[in-house]
Amino acid sequence: MKRGISLYSFSGDIQTGAMTVEDAIRYSAELGADGIEIVAEQHLPGWPNVSADRLLSIRRLCSELGLEIFCFSIYLNSLNRSDRPATDDEYVEMMRRGIAACMVLGTKIIRPAYFPKSPEHLASLVERCIPMLKDAGVVWAVELHAPFPPAFYTQTLEAVDSPWFRLIPDFSCWQKAGAAGHFQANDPSTLIPLLKWTVHIHAKGHTFDENGEEPNTPYKELIAILKEHGYEGSIVAESEGWIFNYHPTKEVTKTHFELLKRYIDA
């Protein structure tokens, strides 16, 4: 599997100005990452009004460093206006802009963060976007995240039944302790039936002990399942420890990425 880092992990230092997005990309390469994930609203000021030159500069830098851009994350914001929630047409337009950015960046996966009104509503939005996704060669990968159970999106994935609609499991769904108040404690084996849809993974991290382990999350068991079942997609370290107890994010991210490598290489 391809190992990488979500630039979300550096958000603490990026937001305070201690690092630039380019610094985070270079540091990811220094750590030995195969690729990165970008979050539009955090790493592209002014999104969605971002120039092609800005996107191309990121693509060129990643290419120079030998990094793939695994995934481009955006938010389908229901509150763009103060007088009413977003319409389906507006959601589709948000997706059109995100897909266009993916084409410039050269990434094949887009993660639109969106809380669905219902499985049927999500399915209808995806189906409206499939022609755009197919033309661009970009997959809509929905993120499965705590507090939702592992089977939360199964109904929608089965209903849409398209190679252009897939899944990003986040390890928060299998956390055994409450670092983020999740208390999920789902058995790691519940990841197995999701792998047929999985194209990218968020290896979540909140806290790390003196041995560099993430005590809330069963990394050993989850990574073993991925290896046993021949998962060949991408997986990124996505740290959130800075939210609860700020540390320089470079050190937190280094510890997290080394944990990920240790279990993958074991």
Q: What SS3 state is found at 187?
A: coil
How buried is 116 (Cβ within 10 angstroms: 0-12 exposed, 13-18 middle, 19+ buried)?
middle
What average pLDDT does the segment 62-77 reach? 97
* pLDDT for residue 112: 97
Specify the CATH architecture of the domain 2-265: Alpha-Beta Barrel (3.20)
* pLDDT for residue 183: 64
* pLDDT for residue 181: 55
Task: Report d(CA 214, CA 93) in Å as an integer.
Answer: 39
What share of the chain has pLDDT > 70, as a percent?
A: 94
Which ranges of the chain would DSSP assign to H, the alpha helix?
A: 11-16, 21-30, 40-43, 52-65, 88-105, 119-136, 154-160, 219-228, 241-244, 249-265
Instruction: Kindly report whether the global pTM for this prediction surpasses the value 0.85.
Output: yes
Please name which of 179, 96, 88 lies closest in space to residue 132, comparing C-alpha atoms: 96
Mean pLDDT for all residues in the chain: 93
| pLDDT tens digits for range 124-181 | 999 999 999 999 999 999 999 988 999 999 999 999 999 999 999 999 999 886 555 5
| pLDDT tens digits for range 101-121 | 999 999 999 999 988 888 999
DSSP structure string for 47-115: TTS--HHHHHHHHHHHHHHT-EEEEEEEE--TTSSSSSPPPHHHHHHHHHHHHHHHHHHT-SEEEEE--
Weakest-pLDDT range from 1-10, 140-149, 242-251: 242-251
Assign 82 a pLDDT band (cuts: 50, 70, 90).
Answer: confident
Assign 247 a pLDDT band (cuts: 50, 70, 90).
Answer: low
CA quadruple 140, 110, 265, 145: dihedral sign: negative
